[in-house]
Amino acid sequence: MKKKEKTCPEETTCSVDYAFKRIGGKYKGRILWYLHEHSILRYGELSRTMPDITTKMLTQTLRELEADNLIQRKVYHEVPPKVEYTLTEVGQELIPFIQYLKDWGDKQIEKEQVKTI
Amino acid sequence: MKKKEKTCPEETTCSVDYAFKRIGGKYKGRILWYLHEHSILRYGELSRTMPDITTKMLTQTLRELEADNLIQRKVYHEVPPKVEYTLTEVGQELIPFIQYLKDWGDKQIEKEQVKTI
DNA sequence: CAGGATCCGTTCTGATACTG
DNA sequence: CAGTATCAGAACGGATCCTG
């Protein structure tokens, strides 16, 4: 219908935008983080780790991360089925920065709690 | 209606989630980045820097960033009005990570272009 | 200049039920 | 176990017009 190409004209710094699109989803950060903490997780484990995400969103988010080559999906064709998720190398590259973000978040949360008291 | 407290049970790492909520908006990363690059920007300057954002979204996003104490809004009560935005200290703390993210994004974009050729 | 207010379509999320 | 399918409501985003 309409052009969507003008999100960022030509040269400028849309890599910021680019990156945020890839990890900015509602659950992406957490999924990446949990995969980092556990190295390898099955679908059900992820689901239990994040009880607030529905199967639909979890699947959808995992597929997006996979499409962006941040995680790897390994299917075992057996009964019952088994699927394992791991970070790709590209995904690993994001960990230090998520760590930074997490530390920042921790700090802010502490601050807020101090104020609340 | 329903409890929203269970986003992250008790102890765990929801700081990741916390942080993403604060900077994960569609334009937040870019706004922070531009404020970092220019130190101080007026409303109209931001608007011109990001032609793809409407006044509504720009205002809304700026207010959110302000509420989260990532940017500071300084109003000059004169005619015509003048409003300046700057990063707060807390906002500054996010710059290294946005820088990291940007670098990562640049790298990925390059990779994709190589493949496309 | 720097927005505020409305209207409205699209996208995103969630609840629920079902399947190989 | 690891999803898929469907539907509906909520949130998001944009266009347009208005104001101190």
State which amino acid sits at residue A86.
T
Closest CA to B64 of B5, B16, B23, B98: B23
A97·B90 Cβ contact <8 A: no
As a whole number, the mean pLDDT across chain A is: 87
Put simply, the answer to whether A19 touches B104 (Cβ < 8 Å) is: yes
Does residue A31 carry a pLDDT above 60?
Answer: yes
- The rounded distance, in Å, linking the Cα atoms of A33 and A98 is 7
Look at phi and psi of residue A69 and say left if phi exceeds 0, alpha if psi is from -120 to 50, else beta.
left
CA angle (A101, A103, A109) in 5-degree steps: 100
Tens digits of per-residue pLDDT, B75-117?
Answer: 999 989 999 999 999 999 999 999 989 999 999 988 877 877 7
Our measurement of CA B65 to C1' D9, in angstroms, reads 27
- Of A22, A42, A13, A21, give the one whose Cα is nearest residue A91: A22
| Nucleotides of strand C within 7 Å of the protein's CB atoms | 1-6, 10, 12-17, 20
| Residue–nucleotide distance: B6 CA to D7 C1' (Å) | 25
Q: Which of A91-105, B1-15, B52-66 has the lowest mean pLDDT?
A: B1-15
Which chain D nucleotides are covered by protein, judged by CB under 7 A? 1-6, 12-17, 20
Spatial separation of the C-alpha atoms in residues B64 and B22, rounded to whole Å: 8
CA–CA separation, B21 vs A30, rounded Å?
Answer: 11
Q: How far apart are CA B47 and CA A96, in angstroms?
A: 32
Partner-chain contact A97 B108, CB within 8 Å: no
The CATH number for A21-111, chosen from 1.10.287.610, 3.20.20.70, 1.10.10.10, 3.40.50.300, is 1.10.10.10
**Distance to chain A for B74, nearest Cα, Å:** 23
Using only C-alpha atoms, chain A has a radius of gyration, in whole angstroms, of: 17
Nearest to A83 by CA among A55, A51, A41, A47: A41
Between CA A88 and CA A94, with CA A89 as vertex, the angle to 5 degrees is: 95
Name residues 1-20 of chain B within 8 A of A (Cβ). Answer: 6-9, 13-20
- Give the Cβ contact number of residue B44 at 10 Å: 11
Average pLDDT for chain B: 86
A59 touches strand C (CB under 7 A): no
Determine how many CB atoms are found less than 10 A away from the CB of residue B10: 6
Distance between CA A73 and CA A41 in Å, rounded? 10
What is d(CA B114, CA B100) in angstroms, rounded to the nearest whole number?
Answer: 21
What pLDDT digit, counting tens, does each position of A44-100 carry? 999 999 999 999 999 999 999 999 999 999 999 998 999 999 999 999 999 998 999
Q: What is the mean pLDDT of residues A14-36?
A: 92
Q: Measured from the CB, is A1 under 7 Å from any atom of strand C?
A: yes
